[in-house]
């Protein structure tokens, strides 16, 4: 059995949306365990997350998930140095389950309680590596760096000035990138959540078969507007289904959707990279990290890789298992929040719309 990595042990909980997650991370970098209980199947039939169902399912799952995280890490609760929890932003009822469980746990153990912002957690996914028996290669990423956060609810270009100091340079004015991908996937008849399905469908398709706009926000060169892309997808699909004779539509559907999926994802990736790399250039950053569920997207990962290589920018991408919602990223950020003395009392509340700064 390999020796346990050094550093304070943080137990973290994440319940901001539809994943009940718990993890144990040592020293903010070494993942000893990461357990994620997904609720996707329960929400699928509604085509989106139903908040009431999410809260109830978190309550059912949370104890077991925490226990499993401790078991997999091979530690007992008394060995934990602090309990971190996502307190913002997210669905209020869902957040409250994690916050209250964490309060009870920290109180019972007599350990500090560390509140973590969900988006800060996504950024911290870039610090993580899973512990293996073959030695550990941790990402050498340290602030300052630039980060593109792309999730289901947020699209931000953020300066990570220090582990707990952030400045937003750009954001979406309407839909998040993930929402646009999910909506387009739904238009193509793919199940919820559409992003990963669209990713798989588009592989091998022609990314230039269809064109989509890259809307500019006047006076805000790093901001995005994804609702225009979504509307363009609706319009193009309507036009095409009118042009296709009904008999051919069935046979052409797969080739057509593959190209459409590839083209839409290319447009999203190109748009995200364009504004982000412009910010990197203007602010002199040579290190860029991607974060959030959408950074699992293969088109975005390869577009970012190619552009960063061409411009001599060092690119950091979280492992796929740490792109979507998980608690290991919350534990990593919790470690740095604790190091900065950011603790909470037992009056900690959920903050559904708190900003990252
Ligand atoms: O970060 P995340 O797990 O949850 C939020 O904090 O919102 O992000 C979820 C989003 C969803 O829109 C989902 O469709 C998208 O990430 N997503 C993907 C992929 N994997 C997850 N989008 C495109 N390609 C993927 N492979
Ligand atoms: Zn998230």
Calculate how far, in angstroms, residue 77's C-alpha sits from the geometric centre of ligand 1: 31
Helix axes 177-187, 246-283, angle to 10 degrees: 170
Mutate to test the pocket of ligand 1, among 86, 266, 272, 294 (most ligand atoms within 8 A of CB): 294
**Residue 163, φ and ψ in degrees, nearest 5:** -55, -30
- 108's enclosing H/E stretch is helix 92-109
Residue 333 neighbours by CB under 8 Å, 6+ apart: 28, 84, 116, 117, 120, 121, 123, 124, 163
pLDDT greater at residue 136 or residue 280: 280
Q: Is the CB of 151 under 6 A from ligand 1?
A: yes
Among the ranges given (10-24, 37-51, 87-101), the one the predictor scored with the smallest mean pLDDT? 37-51
pLDDT greater at residue 47 or residue 82: 82
| Token code pair at residue 195 | 């992003």
Location of structure tokens 């009431």 = 52
Arithmetic mean of pLDDT over the chain: 94
Calculate how far, in angstroms, residue 151's C-alpha sits from the geometric centre of ligand 1: 5
Domains annotated on the chain, with CATH: 9-127+323-339 (3.30.420.40), 131-317 (3.30.420.40)
Segment 131-137 shows an average pLDDT of 65
Give CA separation, 84 vs 24, 92, 219, 353, in Å: 10, 17, 39, 19
Residue 25 neighbours by CB under 8 Å, 6+ apart: 9, 10, 12, 31, 32, 128, 328, 331, 332, 334, 335
For the CA atoms of the chain, what is the radius of gyration?
A: 21
Q: Is the CB of 153 under 6 A from ligand 1?
A: yes
Report whether 266 contacts 200 (CB < 8 A).
Answer: no
Report whether 193 contacts 200 (CB < 8 A).
Answer: no
Calculate how far, in angstroms, residue 246's C-alpha sits from the geometric centre of ligand 2: 40
Predicted pLDDT at 50: 95
- pLDDT tier, 254 (very low <50, low <70, confident <90, very high otherwise): confident
Report the percentage of the chain scoring pLDDT > 90.
Answer: 88
Predicted pLDDT at 304: 98
Residue 41: closest CA among 57, 55, 52 = 57
Q: What is the pLDDT of residues 154-187, one digit of tens each?
A: 999 999 999 999 999 999 999 999 999 999 999 9
Q: What is the pLDDT of residues 93-117, one digit of tens each?
A: 999 999 999 999 999 999 999 999 9
Segment 272-279 shows an average pLDDT of 98
Q: Is the CB of 181 under 6 A from ligand 1?
A: yes
- pLDDT tier, 252 (very low <50, low <70, confident <90, very high otherwise): low
Calculate how far, in angstroms, residue 235's C-alpha sits from the geometric centre of ligand 1: 24
Residue 6 clears pLDDT 60, i.e. is over it? yes
Residue 244 clears pLDDT 80, i.e. is over it? no
Calculate how far, in angstroms, residue 251's C-alpha sits from the geometric centre of ligand 2: 37
Segment 21-34 shows an average pLDDT of 97
Q: Say if residue 89 is preceded by a cis peptide, omega within 30 of 0.
A: yes
**DSSP assignments along 216-283, one per residue:** --TT-TT-B--HHHHHHHHHHHHHHHHHS-HHHHHHHHHHHHHHHHHHHHHHHHHHHHHHHHHHHHHH
**DSSP assignments along 187-220, one per residue:** HTTPPSSHHHHHHHHHTTS-TTSS-------TT-
Predicted pLDDT at 253: 59
Strand 113-117 vs strand 19-26: parallel, antiparallel, or unpaired? unpaired
Predicted pLDDT at 246: 58
What's the pTM value of the predicted model, to 2 decimals? 0.95
Predicted pLDDT at 152: 92
Residue 120: closest CA among 169, 160, 179 = 160
Q: Is the CB of 207 under 6 A from ligand 1?
A: no
- pLDDT tier, 311 (very low <50, low <70, confident <90, very high otherwise): very high
Closest ligand 1 atom to 19 CA: 3
Helix, strand, coil abundance in the chain, percent, nearest 5: 45, 20, 35
Calculate how far, in angstroms, residue 89's C-alpha sits from the geometric centre of ligand 2: 9
- 117's enclosing H/E stretch is strand 113-117
Q: Is the CB of 223 under 6 A from ligand 1?
A: no
Predicted pLDDT at 249: 55
- pLDDT tier, 136 (very low <50, low <70, confident <90, very high otherwise): low
């Amino acid at each position: 059995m390999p020796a346990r990595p050094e550093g304070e042990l943080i137990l973290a909980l994440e319940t901001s949306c539809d994943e009940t997650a718990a993890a144990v991370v040592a020293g903010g970098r070494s993942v000893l365990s990461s357990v994620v209980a997904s609720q996707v199947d329960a929400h699928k039939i509604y085509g989106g997350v139903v908040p009431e169902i999410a809260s109830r399912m978190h309550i059912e799952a949370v104890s077991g998930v925490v226990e499993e995280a401790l078991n997999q890490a091979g530690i007992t609760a008394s060995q934990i140095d602090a309990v971190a929890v996502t307190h913002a932003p997210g669905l209020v009822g869902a957040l409250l389950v994690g916050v209250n469980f964490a309060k009870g746990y920290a109180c019972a153990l007599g350990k500090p309680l560390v509140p973590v912002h969900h988006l800060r957690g996504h950024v911290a996914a870039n610090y993580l590596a899973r512990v293996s028996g073959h030695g550990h290669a941790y990402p050498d990423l340290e602030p300052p760096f630039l980060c593109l956060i792309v999730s289901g609810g947020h699209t931000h270009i953020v300066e990570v000035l220090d582990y707990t100091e952030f400045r937003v340079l750009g954001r979406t004015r309407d839909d998040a990138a993930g929402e646009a991908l999910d909506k387009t996937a739904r238009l193509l008849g793919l199940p919820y959540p559409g992003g990963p399905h669209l990713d798989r469908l588009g592989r091998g398709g022609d990314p230039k078969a269809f064109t989509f706009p890259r809307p500019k926000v006047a006076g805000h060169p790093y901001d995005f507007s994804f609702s225009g892309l979504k509307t363009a997808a609706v319009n193009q699909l309507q036009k095409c289904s009118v042009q296709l004779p009904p008999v051919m539509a069935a046979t052409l559907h797969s080739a057509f959707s593959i190209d459409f999926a590839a083209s839409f994802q290319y447009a999203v990736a190109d748009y995200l990279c364009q504004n982000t790399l412009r910010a990197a250039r203007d602010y002199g950053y040579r290190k860029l990290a991607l974060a959030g569920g959408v950074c699992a997207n293969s088109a975005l990962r390869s577009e970012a890789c190619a552009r960063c290589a061409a411009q001599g920018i060092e690119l950091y991408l979280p492992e796929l298992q740490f792109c979507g919602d998980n608690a290991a990223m919350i534990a990593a950020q919790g470690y740095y929040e604790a190091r900065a003395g950011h603790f909470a009392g037992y009056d900690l509340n959920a903050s559904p719309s708190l900003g990252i700064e």
